[in-house]
């Protein structure tokens, strides 16, 4: 298979989770030197460490065959790129906010006003799509102080917890985009890209799931199967004596909180919860 060059962040908040994802997907590589490109030892992939905001352009230009970056940056560049996989980290929202003292309560109230943002392309497009005509004030940073300095009437910025906006006396009024890290490619159907996407998606799917093992009385199998249907159906394995069975299944990690007490109520004992490294359903 031809060598696939993958552009990945060399610093910033997406660097560490990107490296972890690639290693969890089984890619073996060394990092530590200041090298721009790093060969992956066990698969025909070369990692190219670049600024997060340069990934889209390098993939669009064909310098790299694929890349990992934020969905917001893909939207900002508006390049003809395929988003091949959502990677489940780097979650944030592109949010419109106004000063607490502002009368604005919804996006429509921003029509005709000045909106400061460090994401001018994306903001202009998302607002235009909603028929909101504003004057964009492009800023590089410190966007949240723009209303206080009377540089703008509102801001549009990326937030994860939203605490920076609160601290700066701003009130969110709308979410324009939900973003997360994504795998992008110029030719998503390329063999190497498809294989990388499959491996990364398998890790992302595994992270959201747990493998459950338990013992249960034979007559509770139906009730327990209803609680944990698994990818297809739970495995039911007879125990060596006394009519009990072992039941194995895969559950969504988010469901554990509700499911575990109900399994106990249904008679399950010795419940083990194990991590799942990868899932290809
Ligand atoms: P960096 O500037 O290299 O730290 O990474 C910026 C990217 O991280 C953005 O383009 C988003 O995709 C993502 N991100 C996740 N949470 C946030 C946040 N709270 N603020 C800004 N960017 C975020």
CA angle (277, 278, 280) in 5-degree steps: 160
Residue 31 pLDDT: 83
Distance 53 CA to ligand 1 centre (A): 10
> What pTM was computed for the model?
0.93
pLDDT digit string, tens, across residues 180-213: 999 999 999 999 999 999 999 999 999 999 999 9
Which residues' Cβ are closer than 6 Å to ligand 1?
9, 12-14, 52, 70, 72-73, 90, 92, 158-160, 179
pLDDT value of residue 33: 65
Q: Which residue has the tokens 């504003």?
A: 134
Nearest residue (CA) to ligand 1, atom 7: 70
Kindly give the distance from the C-alpha atom of residue 245 to the centroid of ligand 1, in angstroms, as a whole number: 48
Locate tokens 């990092």: which residue?
A: 31
Handedness of CA 17, 23, 26, 32 (dihedral sign): positive
**What is the reported pLDDT for 32?**
66
Q: What sign does the CA torsion over 227, 228, 232, 233 have?
A: negative
Give the pLDDT confidence score for residue 85 in this predicted structure.
98
- Cβ(119)–Cβ(139) below 8 Å: no
Give the mutation target among 11, 70, 73, 97 for probing the ligand 1 site: most ligand atoms within 8 A of CB. Answer: 70
**Per-residue pLDDT at 240:** 85
Per-residue pLDDT of the chain (281 residues; tens, 9 = 90+): 799 999 999 999 999 999 999 999 999 999 866 779 999 999 999 999 999 999 999 999 999 999 999 999 999 997 889 999 999 999 999 999 999 999 999 999 999 999 999 999 999 999 999 999 999 999 998 899 999 999 999 999 999 998 999 999 999 999 999 999 999 999 999 999 999 999 999 999 999 999 999 999 999 999 999 999 998 999 999 998 788 999 999 999 999 999 999 999 999 999 999 999 999 98
């Amino acid at each position: 298979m031809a060598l696939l060059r993958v552009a990945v962040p060399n610093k910033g908040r997406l660097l560490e989770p990107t490296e972890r994802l690639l290693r969890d997907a089984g890619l073996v590589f060394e990092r530590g030197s200041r090298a721009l490109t790093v060969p992956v030892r066990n698969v025909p992939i070369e990692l190219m460490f670049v600024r997060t905001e340069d990934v889209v352009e390098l993939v669009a230009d064909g310098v790299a065959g694929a890349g990992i970056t934020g969905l917001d940056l893909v939207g900002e560049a508006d390049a003809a790129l395929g988003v091949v996989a959502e990677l489940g980290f780097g979650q944030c929202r592109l949010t419109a906010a106004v000063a607490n003292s502002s009368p604005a309560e919804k996006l429509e109230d921003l029509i005709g006003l000045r909106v400061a943002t460090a994401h001018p392309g994306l903001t202009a497009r998302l607002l235009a799509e909603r028929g909101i005509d504003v004057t964009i004030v492009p800023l590089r940073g410190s966007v949240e102080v723009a209303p206080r300095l009377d540089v703008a009437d509102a801001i549009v910025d990326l937030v994860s917890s939203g605490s920076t906006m609160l601290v700066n006396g701003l009130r969110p009024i709308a979410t324009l985009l939900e973003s997360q890290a994504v795998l992008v490619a110029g030719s998503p159907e390329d063999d190497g890209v498809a294989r990388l996407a499959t491996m990364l998606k398998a890790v992302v799917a595994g992270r959201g799931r747990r493998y459950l093992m338990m013992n249960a009385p034979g007559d509770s199998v139906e009730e327990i199967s209803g609680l944990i249907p698994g990818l297809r159906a739970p495995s039911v394995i007879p125990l060596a004596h006394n009519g009990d069975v072992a039941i194995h299944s895969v559950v969504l990690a988010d469901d554990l909180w509700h499911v575990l007490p109900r399994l106990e109520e249904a008679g399950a004992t010795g419940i083990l919860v194990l991590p799942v490294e990868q899932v290809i359903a």
